[in-house]
Amino acid sequence: MVCSSSAWGCQPRAGAAEPGNAGASESRFNKTEDDETVLRVAYYNVGLQQTAMDTKPSSRAEGCCRHLANDIAESFRKHRLHLLCLCELGEHGIGLQGCKNMGRDTQHDLLELIVDMANEDLTGGASEPAAGGASEPADQVELVAAEYPTYAAIKRHGSKLTVEEVLIHGGLDTRPGDRPDHTMMTLRCR
């Protein structure tokens, strides 16, 4: 599918998904049966450009963040994911910034806000009572990596999966010429 959503401010490109398309989400995310013997990892090529975050009015930038948060929440809820890896967040070497409209100076800060929005979506703002009567979030996710431009990783809170190390690899294209945009994020997990 070609990324052409005006809500995202994406440039059309081959092979990119169309994120945040209301109404199409049911066909994109089919429900996965719950089976705790399986490790579920998903990859999401978001294709969100910086221009979508710098747009006027600022409500459009917030809408983009909410669309992404909804996609994150929906994928964790329906597929019982342990880990979701995101790529194509903003511009190569810069990442996705939310300074202008969202008051977030770094990609990490912006992704923390988006993960908070996803958690609100996952729980509907409600909490489940825990043992002893204390209240705990019903089903939450947490940001485990967002420090490298254009990449992020989110895991289910309370999952047995542990992310021990996050590495970025550059210079992966060995063809002649300067191709600094060929990078990869690696997570060492247990």
**What are the residue boundaries of the structural domains of the chain, listed by start?**
25-161
Q: What is the pLDDT of residue 176?
A: 84
Task: Name 94's Cβ contacts closer than 8 Å, sequence gap at least 6.
Answer: 50, 149
Whether residue 67 contacts residue 7, with contact meaning beta carbons closer than 8 Å, is answered with yes
CA distance 18 to 7: 10
Residues facing 142 on adjacent strands: 155
CA separation, residue 84 to residues 6, 165, 173 (Å): 24, 16, 25
Q: pLDDT of 76-103, one tens digit each?
A: 999 989 999 999 999 888 889 888 889 8
Whether residue 99 contacts residue 107, with contact meaning beta carbons closer than 8 Å, is answered with no
pTM above 0.95, yes or no: no
Whether residue 7 contacts residue 64, with contact meaning beta carbons closer than 8 Å, is answered with yes
CA distance 185 to 175: 20
Q: What is the pLDDT of residue 126?
A: 54
Q: What is the pLDDT of residue 154?
A: 97
Q: What is the pLDDT of residue 188?
A: 93
Amino acid (one-letter) located at 16:
A
Q: What is the pLDDT of residue 6?
A: 33
Residue 31 CB coordination number (10 Å)? 10
Q: pLDDT of 133-154, one tens digit each?
A: 444 445 899 999 999 999 999 9
CA distance 108 to 60: 20
Q: What is the pLDDT of residue 34?
A: 58
- List the chain residues with pLDDT less than 50: 1-27, 127-137
Q: What is the pLDDT of residue 177?
A: 79
